[in-house]
Amino acid sequence: MPFAGLSIFGDARYLDAARPLFAAGAVDAIEWSVDSWSHEEAADEIDTLLDSYAKRGLLIGHGIHYPLLAVKADKLRANWLKQLKPVVQARKYAGVSVHFGFSTGWKLREGAPLPVPLCKEALDLGKKAMVALQKTVKVPVGIENLALAFSKQDVASQGVFIDEMLRAVDGYQLLDLHNIYCQSVNFGVPVLDLVKTYPLSRVLEIHVSGGSWSEHGKMKVRRDTHDGRVPQELFDALPAVLKLCPRARFVIFEKLPQSFKTKADTTGFRDDFMQLKALVPREKAAA
């Protein structure tokens, strides 16, 4: 039963853009970054939203800074999990996901996780980290696929890598379609061909977002910056992806607060969400 929702932020720019969608009853579910340790800017408004959706089982959590595949980072992971524990105990989450890849936790807040080659050592580390996450949150745990890849081999093996880690905790796949799109255009592989390399029977959540382009000489690289309009190719692919993911329950639209610079940005955000919502079968998306 997929529900169309938003990844929300405790930021005035984001909330100004999103309030009309909530007021119209258009937002079926919400995602919250569980390692946003504080959100004083709009604490009352955010807490009200989180409580309301949690009570209906329509709140899902996402961790941005968990150092899933960082070597010699046991203390860092333990500290992150210690801070996470009271957050997930405060409300009912339908699940908590983290990013695939190497990162340094919140020590380095700028930039995205880096890809890690599939090997036994990395796989064992990832399984151990996922088990620790599951023991802490005591709800289903998942992994989001990464936009960045160093080679076609990385692209081809990421789904297998994630599937193996998820097996250790019977976890779920968070399938980020814009991350798939980045790999598709950067490495010349069709979107649906890439989607099919992931454990689709494990997909509980789907992310849809926009991004941007970087130019390096004569080469253009697609980046997952969450600040542009959603590519039409992703809207075109979404119905087919939903058919391939029979257990998908959440389809979440992402856009970062700092991307709201003009009225056109706000209008585009609302239009993109409503286009996404229209592609989620209505008879399956009643709140």
Domain-wise residue ranges, the chain: 3-282
CA dihedral 208, 1, 275, 243 (to 10 degrees): 70
pLDDT under 50: residue ranges of the chain: 108, 284-287
Give the architecture (CATH level 2) of 3-282.
Alpha-Beta Barrel (3.20)
Backbone angles phi, psi at 165, to 5 degrees: -65, -40
Place of tokens 């709800």: 139
> How far is Cα 139 from Cα 187, in angstroms, rounded to an integer?
35
Structure tokens at 53: 């959706």
Instruction: For the full predicted model, state whether its pTM sits above 0.85.
Output: yes
> How far is Cα 165 from Cα 141, in angstroms, rounded to an integer?
11
Q: Which residues is 220 bridged to in the sheet?
A: 215
3-class secondary structure, 213: strand
Mean pLDDT of the chain: 92
Place of tokens 């504080």: 38
pLDDT 10s digits, 195-243: 999 999 999 999 999 988 888 777 888 887 888 899 999 999 999 999 9
3-class secondary structure, 45: helix
State the pLDDT at residue 215: 82
Residue 111, number of CB atoms within 10 A of its CB: 9
Backbone angles phi, psi at 262, to 5 degrees: -135, 170
